[in-house]
Structure 1
Amino acid sequence: MNKLSQEKSEYLLQHSSNPVDWYPWGTEAFTKAKKEDKPIFLSIGYSSCHWCHVMEKESFEDIETAKILNKNFISIKVDREERPDIDSIYMASIQMISGSGGWPASIFMNADGVPFYAGTYFPKFDKHNIPAFKSVLAKIIEIFQNDRKSVDDHSKVVFDGLKNLFENSVNKNNKIINNLYSKLTSQIKDSFDFEKGGFGDFPKFPETSKLENLFLLGKKNNSNELYDMVQLSLGSMINGGIYDQLSGGFSRYSTDREWKIPHFEKMLYDNALILNLLCISYKITENQNIKNTILMTTSFLMEEMRSKENLFFSTQDADSEGKEGEYYTWDYEEVKENLSEKKFEVVKDYWGLTKEGDLDKKNILFVNNSINEISNQKKISKSRVEKIIEDSRKTLLNIRNKKVKPNTDYKFISSWNSLIISSLCNTYNITSDKNYLTQAIYTAESILENFIEDEILFHTKNNKIAFLEDYSYFTNALFDLYNSSQSSRWYDIAKTMCEGTINRFWSSKDNLFYDTFESNDLIIRPKGFFDPMIPNPAAIAAQNAYRLYRYSNDSKYLDIVGKSLKTVSGLLDKSPIDLPSWFKLYYLMQEESSEIFISGSSEDKLHIESIRYLLSIYLPNTIIVSIDPEDNDFFLPIMQDRLKDNQTKIYICKDYVCDLPIDNLDDLKQKLQNLKGVYKLK
Structure 2
Amino acid sequence: MDPRARNTLTESTSPYLRQHADNPVHWQQWTDDALAWARERDVPVLLSIGYSACHWCHVMAHESFEDEATAALMNEHFVCIKVDREERPDLDAVYMNATVAMTGQGGWPMTVFLTPDGEPFYCGTYFPPTPRQGMPSFPQLLTAITDTWVTRRDEVTTASASIVAELRRGSTGVPMGERAVDAALLDHAVAGVLTAEDTERGGFGPAPKFPPSALAEALLRHVERTGSDAAEATLDRTLAAMVRGGLYDQLAGGFARYCVDADWVVPHFEKMLYDNGLLLRVLAHAARRGDALAARAAAETADFLIRDLGTDDGCFASALDADTDGVEGLTYVWTPAQLRDALGDADGAAAAELFGVTDNGTFEHGTSVLQLRADPADAAWFDDVRGRLAAVRATRPQPGRDDKVVTAWNAFAVTALAEGGAALGEWTWVEAAARCAETLVSRHVVDGRLRRASLGGEVGAAAAVLEDHGALATALAALHQATGERRWLTAAQDVLDTALAHFADRERPGAWFDTADDAEQLVTRPSDPLDGATPSGAALLTEALLTVSALTDPARAARYREAADLSLARASILLERAPRSAGHWLAVAEAAVAGPLQVAVATTAPSSTLAALARQQAPGGTVVVAGSPESTPLLADRPTVDGRDTAYVCRGFVCDRPVTDEVDLRALLGA
Q: Give TM class, smaller chain.
A: over 0.9
Match of 2:307 in 1: 303
How far residue 299 of structure 1 moved from its aligned partner, in angstroms, is 1.3
CA–CA distance in structure 2, aligned partners of residues 610 and 233 of structure 1: 32
1:378 paired residue number: none
Distance 1:270 1:124, change over 3 A: same
**Which amino acid in 1 is paired with 2:648?**
Y
Q: 1:596 is paired with a residue of what secondary structure?
A: strand
Relative to structure 1, the CA distance from residue 600 to residue 425 in structure 2 (aligned partners, 3 Å threshold; closer, same or farther) is closer
Conservation of the 8 A alpha-carbon contact between 2:339 and 2:351? no
Summarize the alignment of residues 562-577 of structure 1 with structure 2, pairs less than 5 Å apart: 562-577=565-580
1:483 alignment counterpart: 481
User: 1:540 aligns to what?
Assistant: 540
Asked if 2 retains the 8 angstrom alpha-carbon contact of 1:421 and 1:477, the reply is yes
Cα distance in structure 2, aligned partners of 1:633 and 1:32: 58
Instruction: Please tell me the residue identity of whatever aligns with 1:199.
Output: F
- Cα drift, residue 634 of structure 1: 4.6
Alignment-derived partner of residue 581 in structure 2: 578
Deviations 1:504-542 (A, max 9, x none): 222333322221121233222212101111111111112
Amino acid at match of 2:531: D
Separation (CA, whole Å) in 1 of partners of 2:668 and 2:568: 32
Asked if 2 retains the 8 angstrom alpha-carbon contact of 1:40 and 1:109, the reply is: yes
Partner of 2:604: 601
Preserved contact between residue 173 and residue 528 of structure 2 (Cα < 8 Å): no
1:281-301 Cα distance to aligned partner (Å, 9 max, x none):
1122x1222211111111111
1:314 to 297, 315, 318: 318
- Cα 1:348–1:74 shift into 2, 3 Å: same
1:98 to 1:138, Cα distance in 2 relative to 1, 3 A: same
Does 1:159 find its partner at 2:161? no
Matched, 1:530 2:533: no
Alpha-carbon distance in structure 2 between the residues aligned to 1:661 and 1:368? 46
CA separation of 1:137 and 1:297: change in aligned 2, threshold 3 A: same
User: How far is 1:177 from its partner?
Assistant: 4.6
Deviations 1:324-377 (A, max 9, x none): 1111112332222222221012111001112221222243333355245xxxxx
Note if contact 1:595-1:638 (Cα within 8 Å) is conserved in structure 2: no
Matched AA of 1:455: G
Contact 1:329 1:364 in 2 (8 A): yes
TM-score (norm 2): 0.93
SS at match of 1:107: strand
| SS in structure 2 at match of 1:24 | coil
How big is the alpha-carbon RMSD for the aligned residues of Structure 1 and Structure 2?
Answer: 2.0
- Tell me the TM-score normalized by structure 1: 0.92
Does the 8 A contact of 1:600 with 1:645 survive in 2? no
Aligned residue number for residue 515 of structure 1: 514
1:437 to 411, 414, 430: 430
Alignment match, 1:24 = 29
**Alignment length (residue pairs):** 654
2:283 to 270, 278, 285: 278
Which residues in structure 2 correspond to 1:67-466 (within 5 Å)?
67-166=72-171, 168-171=172-175, 174-177=177-180, 179-284=184-289, 286-367=290-371, 369-371=373-375, 382-383=377-378, 386-461=379-454, 462-464=459-461, 465-466=463-464
Q: Which amino acid in 2 is paired with 1:254?
A: C
C-alpha deviations, 1:591-627, integer Å up to 9, x for none? 3543323224234xxx710111111124235322333
Per-residue displacement from partner, 1:478-501 (whole Å, max 9, x unpaired)?
111112122222222222222222
Distance 1:369 1:6 in 2: 47
In 2, Cα distance between equivalents of 1:622 and 1:371:
33
Contact persistence 2:466–2:503 (CA under 8 A): yes
Q: Which amino acid aligns with 1:324?
A: E
Paired residues of 1:245 and 1:365 also in contact (CA < 8 A): no
CA distance in 1, matches of 2:622, 2:293: 27
Instruction: Report how far residue 643 of structure 1 moved.
Output: 6.1
1:361 to 1:567, Cα distance in 2 relative to 1, 3 A: same
Task: State the Cα distance separating 1:547 from its structure 2 match.
Answer: 1.9
Would you say the 8 A contact 2:316–2:410 is kept in 1?
A: yes
2:264 corresponds to which letter in structure 1?
Answer: W
Q: 1:558 & 1:650 partners in 2: Cα distance?
A: 23
2:52 aligned residue: 47
Cα shift at 1:267? 0.4
User: Contact 2:283 / 2:298 at 8 angstroms: preserved in 1?
Assistant: yes
TM-superposition CA deviations, 1:553-575 (whole Å, max 9, x none): 43222221232233334344322
SS at match of 1:197: coil
1:645, CA displacement in angstroms? 5.3
Q: Flag the 1:312–1:261 CA change in 2: closer, same or farther, 3 A.
A: same
SS at match of 1:51: helix
Distance 2:91 2:167 in 1: 13
Tell whether the 8 Å contact from 2:194 to 2:234 is kept in structure 1 after alignment.
Answer: no
Structure 2 CA distance for aligned equivalents of residues 11 and 214 of structure 1? 35
Change (3 A) 1:433 1:621: closer
How far, CA to CA, are the matches of 1:126 and 1:163 in structure 2?
A: 34
Alpha-carbon distance change, 174 to 72 in structure 1, aligned in 2, over 3 angstroms: same
Question: What are the equivalent positions in structure 2 for 1:520-669 lying under 5 Å apart?
Answer: 520-521=519-520, 522-551=522-551, 552-553=553-554, 554-603=557-606, 608-628=608-628, 633-634=630-631, 636=633, 639-640=636-637, 642=639, 646-669=643-666
Q: Larger deviation: 526-535 or 570-579?
A: 570-579
Cα deviations by residue, 1:112-131 (Å, 9 ceiling, x for unpaired): 11111101111112223332
- Check the 8 A contact 2:481/2:624 in 1, yes or no: yes
Q: CA offsets per residue over residues 1-26 of structure 1, 9 Å max, x none? A: 61112222111111111111111100
User: How far did 1:422 drift?
Assistant: 0.7
Give the distance between the partners of 1:610 and 1:121, measured in 2 at CA. 56
* Distance in structure 1 (CA, Å) of the matches to 2:503 and 2:513: 5
Question: What CA distance in whole angstroms lies between the structure 2 residues aligned with 1:259 and 1:99?
Answer: 26
Cα distance in structure 2, aligned partners of 1:128 and 1:387: 51
**Residue 388 of structure 2: SS of its match in structure 1?**
helix
The equivalent residue for 2:3 is none
Moved more, 363-372 or 328-337: 363-372
Distance across 2 between alignment mates of 1:266 and 1:637: 38
1:225 Cα deviation (Å)? Answer: 2.2
| Deviation digits for residues 46-65 of structure 1 (CA, Å, limit 9, x no counterpart) | 11110000000111111111
| Local SS of the residue matching 2:318 | strand
- CA deviations on 1:124-153 (whole Å, 9 max, x unpaired) are 122233322122222212221221111111
| Percent pairwise identity | 29
Code of the residue aligned with 1:202 in structure 2: it is A
The Cα shift of 1:28 comes to 1.8
- Residue 191 of structure 1 aligns to a residue in which SS? coil
Change (3 A) 1:644 1:333: closer
**Offset of residue 27 of structure 1:** 1.4
Change (3 A) 1:301 1:622: closer
Q: Unpaired runs of 5+ in structure 2?
A: 1-5
- Whole-Å separation in 2 of the counterparts to 1:641 and 1:324: 57
**TM-aligned CA distance change 1:404 to 1:641, over 3 Å:** closer
Contact 1:548 1:557 in 2 (8 A): yes
- Once the two structures are superposed, residues 191-241 of structure 1 have per-residue CA deviations (whole angstroms, 9 ceiling, x without a partner) of 211011111111110021112222233233311221121111111111111
User: What CA distance in whole angstroms lies between the structure 1 residues aligned with 2:161 and 2:437?
Assistant: 44
Q: Quickly say closer, same or farther: Cα 1:609–1:52, change in 2 above 3 A.
A: same
Q: What is residue 678 of structure 1 aligned with on the other side?
A: none
